[in-house]
């Protein structure tokens, strides 16, 4: 399989990888400029940048780069292993690592007026939109054509059916604490990038107390953004959707308030 086909398949499956390309080589090196290697999340590879210790170090660095999704460069001198070099060829290699991350996913739990407004705006912002509601009549493609997937199940069953990754953002626009409390513990165990719960401070305080009584640790509970959204004095569902997505974008860009 060509490396380009491998990258296309990776993107089709919404999975993460890192493309490693030798952008400069000088002297005697195992592979030369233009050589490419795709590193998967499990450490397996397609292609090669030279094998041996050089390749092993590059794979390790690629796996680390998947966490932040930022491109980076590696420089190796291959002269003296006693000094920490990955080889004795005598050359120098520079490798550019480009993470390939899936489109961010926004999971909306609760498909009422606000949930539908969030779905519309998230789709416009190029999120993959997923909708869940325990009321099948609300979890309907005709009501929310912007969504790619629908899960008409109770919230506590959602994490058993949906793959949650570090690129998943979960927004609870639910109608009551009784829905939030049974489902949140499993979600808090997931690697989701964002977990937000709609409602007043009083509603969240009630939810938090019930989660603590159920044995959920404070560290996990503190992952939740609630009340969620940037304070813009929003009133309409559309304005509330703007405040929620603005907060998610802010956190995605690394500027937490």
pLDDT one-digit tens code per residue, 158-212? 999 998 988 999 999 999 999 999 999 999 999 999 999 999 999 999 999 999 9
pLDDT at 80: 45
The CA distance from 224 to 11, in Å, is 29
Strand partners, 204: none
* Domain annotation for the chain: domains and CATH numbers: 3-100 (no CATH), 105-252 (3.40.50.720)
Q: Write down the pTM of the prediction.
A: 0.81
120-144 tens-digit pLDDT: 999 999 999 999 999 999 999 999 9
Q: Are strands 105-109 and 128-132 parallel, antiparallel or unpaired?
A: parallel
1-53 tens-digit pLDDT: 788 999 999 988 888 999 999 998 877 676 788 889 999 999 999 998 877 77
Mean per-residue pLDDT of the chain: 89
Residue 242's Cα: distance from chain center in Å?
Answer: 20
51-86 tens-digit pLDDT: 777 888 899 999 988 877 889 998 877 554 444 444
pLDDT at 26: 76
Query: Where is pLDDT greater, at 107 or 253?
Result: 107
> pLDDT at residue 111 above 70?
yes
């Amino acid at each position: 399989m060509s490396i380009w086909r491998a990258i296309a398949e990776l993107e089709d499956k919404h999975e993460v990888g890192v493309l490693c390309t030798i952008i400069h080589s000088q002297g005697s090196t195992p592979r030369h400029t233009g050589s490419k290697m795709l590193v998967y999340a499990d450490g397996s590879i397609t292609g090669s940048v030279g094998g041996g210790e050089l390749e092993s170090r590059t794979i390790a660095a690629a796996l680390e780069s998947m966490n932040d999704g930022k491109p980076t460069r590696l420089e190796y001198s291959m002269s003296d292993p006693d000094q920490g070099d990955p080889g004795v060829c005598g050359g120098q290699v520079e490798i550019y690592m480009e993470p390939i991350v899936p489109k961010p996913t926004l999971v909306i739990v609760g498909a009422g007026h606000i949930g539908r407004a969030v779905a519309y705006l998230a789709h416009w912002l190029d999120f993959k939109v997923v909708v869940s509601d325990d009321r099948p009549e609300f979890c309907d493609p005709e009501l929310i054509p912007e969504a790619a997937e629908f899960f008409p199940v109770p919230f506590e069953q959602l994490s058993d059916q949906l793959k949650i990754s570090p690129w998943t953002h979960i927004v609870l626009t639910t109608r009551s604490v009784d829905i939030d409390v049974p489902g949140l513990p499993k979600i808090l165990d997931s690697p989701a990038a964002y977990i937000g719960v709609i409602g007043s401070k009083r509603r969240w305080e009630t939810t938090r107390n019930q989660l603590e009584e159920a044995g959920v640790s404070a560290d996990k509970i503190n992952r939740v953004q609630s009340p969620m959204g940037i304070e813009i004095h929003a009133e309409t569902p559309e304005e509330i959707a703007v405040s929620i997505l603005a907060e998610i974008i802010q956190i995605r860009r690394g500027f937490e308030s």
